[in-house]
Structure 1
């Protein structure tokens, strides 16, 4: 070890003693300064130490960026174990390649696609080069394409695995890789942990392959046009007969969505479609979106689109996130297109689509005794109640992440799968993919909006009719940010507190039991324990009186704790819907206030 490196490490230890850098960051900094596999980055790390950029160093090195519910995602930074850069992306690709070579027999191949984010194309080519260097053929989508099209590509080309370069709806500073297995679904246990083991032991990255040369040799096969055509065909196959008289505006929010949603809508017979101009250009800075965060879960994303709808007399608006696997929408509350418009949250869209799909399937005679829908534990129970009314089974004991929905499809058998959804605006109909698809969801939402119009009903009135039938459901999500190494420690403390000392009541509702999915146990307020029998994950659900409950979990992709609040009024108790809405809004406000206070006291 050189004297210069000794001096740098001494500086780092001094920063640890002064509590400017965490001990874990110091360990990772030492690795990047001393191990040959990180030699290409050592000078950049050294410069940060010399300039005493302690906060930047701690943020970049305090942990090794993990695989979460959606893969490996984080802020881009040229160096750092807790950042997205050439090294961490390359490690992910090499770890995947190593595991595939160890476990999969026969010819090996990998599907790769990328979105409009900064460096996405660069990272996609890097992954392709590493795969080819490992003897794995690559099928490459050579333009901005959607995550569900990558899922379809893996299945269509019978690939051993897949890589999608995207950070979904995260801010412009972020990027990521989503890793897929041969099923077309994101990797599940035990593959995920096994891949991580390989990632953590990657030495030098095999970068000798030149991308253009690999294309010329056929080791990388560009298959964009072929896969586009086949993908739209299978999306179109999910359509239902009905009216198509609808004037709509669609926004890709500067992402890839126009490559999938517009062809799907046109294939389904919709002709009066406007792509919202200010959001049409692919741009990783998301310049014309509020806060530069292209998330269709955020109602303010729709404000400008709704203004445009009023200008041109449009009847329905939709928007998809940058990699086009999530969709949001808004519609006028009454038949007056110039009047009030409102967005729908992910649970409401899920309920509307579930009822639409099941009603059409039932009318077509394609609902069998073993037909089923799938949802996650943090998705509204209204989906289950709708499915029950059609005699359809619900698989709902799933952790957060659409990969579990895809996994359940394969476990139960996809032939009788009718609909899958999660509260974060993710939906799937059809067997062609194992991930959520905003293209098919947009197509079916447009059909539903046209159907409502033909029946003299607004989409909001359709939702209200479902509430009258199945009970009023109101849900709310609170994100509690906890950034950095200190935030991670606080998240662990908070989750432990919910398990060991949960609040006895929330919003005036008594706690009936705690479902602890990490320890697979149900605990009542008096301390009585019983087996839970649920999936294993870091989540707690607090069951309150009258069918209300709160789910708590740390995010798998971002530095925050998520509180999911679920309120319910049984249909028999609904006298006035407006009164129920007001009462549940007050209940949610109280839940949020008390949960914030509980978290702050940790």
Structure 2
């Protein structure tokens, strides 16, 4: 078996580096590692591809990228009218092999007869879905692994509506990739021919598209920088070794803040695929903003804004009481954005809708009920948020904002998360609300108005997918000894269960027919429930438990509302403890607690 797999790989791979990796393992007779790399194909899902870069059908490399591109081009050509003339948009970031993977993608589409818009140089992820809309393209690909470790890369696919793909396209593309995998052996790999194959006028000029993107950003400018205002002490910015610095500088210019008042973290400013100053290039991670905080201290600034490496996410830290840096959570940033955008649109006469994902805070729902705009939640991921926003816009709504707690924020003009537009809007927000040091006060005033919310999010390590499946099987059966559709627990710990939605089995206690309004997926574990305390009807808890589709994790998101932040924090912790004891039972289930 291993010998056959090795032959299959060496018959395909023309990259000397990855060929040697397999040849060396063959020489060492390392059959275990060879089977790990070769026996299973990298899975293609709604996030496209993402994995470690090395040889093998299970990893990111020239072969798997080319096979994915051949399958994707074939699927789009069949499913989209005039797909080849509409073309494909392809961009890439600064990671190792990103340019190579983007060119291989372009080569596959050219050979299928597609017009190709291949960005010259590095781009931030949001400009790819923006360009799809601007050019009327049939689809797009961004080569990036976002904020994953340096050894990883990825292949993010967008449909012709400028949104990440959703079912059934993910399974359709995966099936086409598998069906055409053997066609790679007949493929022309010579990238030196690429510029000749793609006509000059079909290669999109990055500068021209960046200007169109900036023109859209102008629509997000409601307030210009005030030289003597609350941001006069300056703002710290970090690109986290990614591609965000140049597009963010253009956004800062639109706001009007002098560039000498934008203190960039120099060691993290330039694209560097090795991310030398951070253990994990995600601004949410502990320690990732240490250099930014040190710079803020030196410059006397009280506000830090940050992007992740491909600049589709956005993070914030503020200096509370002038001496201590506090990093805001994704939900806190989201609710500040929501309040600011509502202030800009509430007197517009338009039908307003704002969205967040089901794992994000319900504070937006309570704000919507009080203020009178439409609120909806979606499944996790901007593929769902963006597509639902498009549907609502077709129904006559304006969607000025949507977000997910994992520091993703969407504004008009791009139906995906965009860390650059988030930076532009947040600087205006910070100025309007009194500067970085005053944002905690603003949050507290919003809590006083809509309810005090606190979150408790975390995860358990599930070393095998079966552990996650068994954990949810226990949840569905423990309260009656056996599972029947429609059953659900009436209590969890000290709380009463007031609603129950199981998107794996397809049950929702809140709808007349008990069918969920959100998509059901039997292959994905996901339960959402709301809880109430016995003696206070104003207290509210909502949690979602789900299996991760990309990591060996069982993720928990708890959102609690109470009369004070301290009480909300207590409720969130009590819920976590009850779920740990009754549901997940690490000592028995094999799940591993992560503290």
Match among 366, 376, 379 for residue 348 of structure 2: 366
CA distance in 2 between partners of 1:35 and 1:176 (Å):
20
2:561 corresponds to 1:568:
yes
Show the counterpart of 1:21. none
User: Is 2:294 the partner of 1:307?
Assistant: yes
Task: Provide structure 1 residue ranges, at least 5 long, that are not aligned to the other structure.
Answer: 1-8, 13-28
Moved more, 546-555 or 162-171: 546-555
1:521 corresponds to which residue? 507
Displacement of 1:151: 0.7
Q: Output aligned runs, 1:266-415, within 5 Å.
A: 266-271=253-258, 272-289=261-278, 291=279, 293-334=280-321, 336=322, 339-362=323-346, 365-368=347-350, 370-396=351-377, 398-413=378-393
Q: CA contact under 8 A between 1:520 and 1:533: conserved in structure 2?
A: no
How far apart are the structure 2 equivalents of 1:299 and 1:595? Answer: 30
Separation in structure 2 between the aligned mates of residue 523 and residue 500 of structure 1, nearest angstrom? 17
Distance 1:177 1:433, change over 3 A: same
Task: Note closer, same or farther for the CA distance 1:595–1:466 as it changes in structure 2 (3 Å cut).
Answer: farther
The 1:478/1:505 distance shift into structure 2, 3 A limit, reads farther
The corresponding residue for 2:167 is: 189
Q: 1:514 to 1:386 in 2, by over 3 A?
A: closer
The equivalent of 1:494 in structure 2 is 471
Cα distance, 1:587 vs structure 2 = 3.0
Deviations along 1:176-215, whole A, 9 cap, x unmatched? 1000111111112222211111011122326426445433
Q: Residues 39 and 235 from structure 1, CA distance in 2 versus in 1: closer, same or farther, beyond 3 angstroms?
A: closer
In the alignment, structure 2 segments of 5+ residues that lack a partner are: 480-488, 534-539, 590-595
Residue in structure 1 matched with residue 66 of structure 2 by the alignment: 90
Bigger Cα displacement from structure 2, 131-140 vs 545-554: 545-554
Closer, same or farther in 2 for the Cα pair 1:51/1:511, shift >3 Å? farther
Indicate if the aligned counterparts of 2:241 and 2:271 stay in contact, CA closer than 8 A: yes
- Normalised by the length of structure 1, the TM-score is 0.85
TM-score of the pair, normalised by structure 2: 0.86
Supply the RMSD in Å over aligned alpha carbons: 2.7
| 1:131 is the counterpart of 2:109 | yes
- Taking the TM superposition and a 5 Å limit, the aligned residue runs for 1:127-276 are 127-202=105-180, 203-205=182-184, 207-208=187-188, 210-216=190-196, 218-219=198-199, 221-241=203-223, 243-244=225-226, 245=229, 246=231, 247-271=234-258, 272-276=261-265
Counterpart of 1:265 in 2: which secondary structure? helix
Cα drift, residue 584 of structure 1? 4.2
Shift, 1:51, TM fit: 2.4
Could you say what secondary structure the match of 2:335 adopts? helix
Q: 1:542 aligns with which of 529, 540, 544?
A: 529
Task: Indicate which of 449, 456, 470 corresponds to 2:430.
Answer: 449
Work out the CA distance in 2 between the residues paired with 1:472 and 1:299.
25
**Across the two proteins, how many residue pairs are aligned to each other?**
552
What CA distance in whole angstroms lies between the structure 2 residues aligned with 1:238 and 1:371?
16
Deviations 1:34-67 (A, max 9, x none): 5897476888546525524355335434643223
Q: Does 1:551 align with 2:544?
A: yes
Matched, 1:424 2:417: no
Whether contact under 8 Å (1:326, 1:427) holds in the other structure is yes
Q: CA deviation at 1:581?
A: 5.4
> 1:274-303 CA distances to partner (integer Å, 9 max, x unpaired)?
2111211211111111x2x11122242122
Secondary structure of residue in 2 paired with 1:112: strand
- Give the 3-state SS of the residue equivalent to 1:548 in structure 2: strand
Return the offset for 1:491: 2.4
Counterpart contact for 1:499–1:540, Cα < 8 Å: no
- Taking a change above 3 Å as real, the CA distance of residues 476 and 582 of structure 1, as seen in their structure-2 partners, is closer
Q: Deviations over 1:119-146 (max 9, x none)?
A: 1111111111111111112112212211
Query: 1:532 & 1:557 partners in 2: Cα distance?
Result: 24
1:561 and 1:211 mapped to 2: Cα distance? 42
Q: Identify if the C-alpha distance between structure 1 residues 462 and 492 changes in structure 2 by more than 3 Å, giving closer, same or farther.
A: same
